[in-house]
Structure 1
């Protein structure tokens, strides 16, 4: 049975709160030794990933607070260089400080998003010149993907179906040029529309919903993905950059 992307921002907010709970439950496993160990992202430790979760969580919560006041603000003061510097500096903290920082961020995020009412979701935000619903979706993606990247016991195989369907929609622009990409999720009743021009060669990638979402998000699938081109087995195509 297909579980589509939630149709209301309130439903997305419920999914986000569930993600907060999952990450909180994993934080006690973070020791000083574990904080220095590699994460799933090349060149980053678990401490880097958790510092990034802290930063993006606070940044999106700030978008919500300012939008409710009718004000626009950039996601990060100082832009991308300041974001990178904050992650690097934050990664030097010990496990106790990291656990507390992330716990505080999740509480801040919950409070900020709880204050958004039904009529507020279309309010403009500075992040990508979008609206509050788009900022909440960003936090949902970042929270869920990077919780798995931290390698504290969560993986893409644990991603909820609604998030996976959202990722397949949001990341469709990663489909390579010059092909018509079809993603077929096993055990999913409803087929997904293909991406790409109708007259382009068709490439089909088949696997579990979580594995397809992981691959499209640039993460390692747990199981095999089966790729065919014109009915013949083929290597997985190279994906384009994130949208």
Structure 2
């Protein structure tokens, strides 16, 4: 928690950013660290007069509580962002600062217990927003281009396609090829079969697509479903 004054999430003073340094160390050791800009920092330039009337309870206690609640919803409300490896003590997850999806969301794999630094696989200029294990050495992610221009208002749609990442070799290749206004995500792997949902921004419902293996053609399987189906066992037919 920051001290007095309009302070950002890094507690930055000149070239020093002690909160960021502490967060980086804790995160590297596997500890989640919620950070936030004080409301006085966010509003200072646009409404300096209003900031003078905030009390300690509002800018310190309430801001901290909301930051923890919001980050908790962010991390644990998206269960598809955390996946254990099929047979190894490895955890694949989406990491990155900030509550919005438009930038800084990276595919990360950690060995448990953690011995080395976390390995990030998302190339610069992109965000990964969904993850699923394909094999012991491969994960499938839903990837979109970063949107660094957006900073307020309704969050823009992130148009994702699926990519396979080999976490051993680092090789990455595109798996699905949606149209420009379509979104692929909610991947599930059952044996060698891959399923995912696809929709465009005008659709209220989803279509389920399927590939019998990573190199096979993609096929439309189910139309107009409310949510991604959950499979147990295998797929037939």
Larger Rg: 2
Query: Taking structure 2 as the reference length, what is the TM-score of the superposition?
Result: 0.26
Query: Whose relative contact order is higher, 1 or 2, with alpha carbons under 8 Å and at least 6 apart?
Result: 1
Between structures 1 and 2, the one with greater strand share? 2
Query: Taking structure 1 as the reference length, what is the TM-score of the superposition?
Result: 0.25
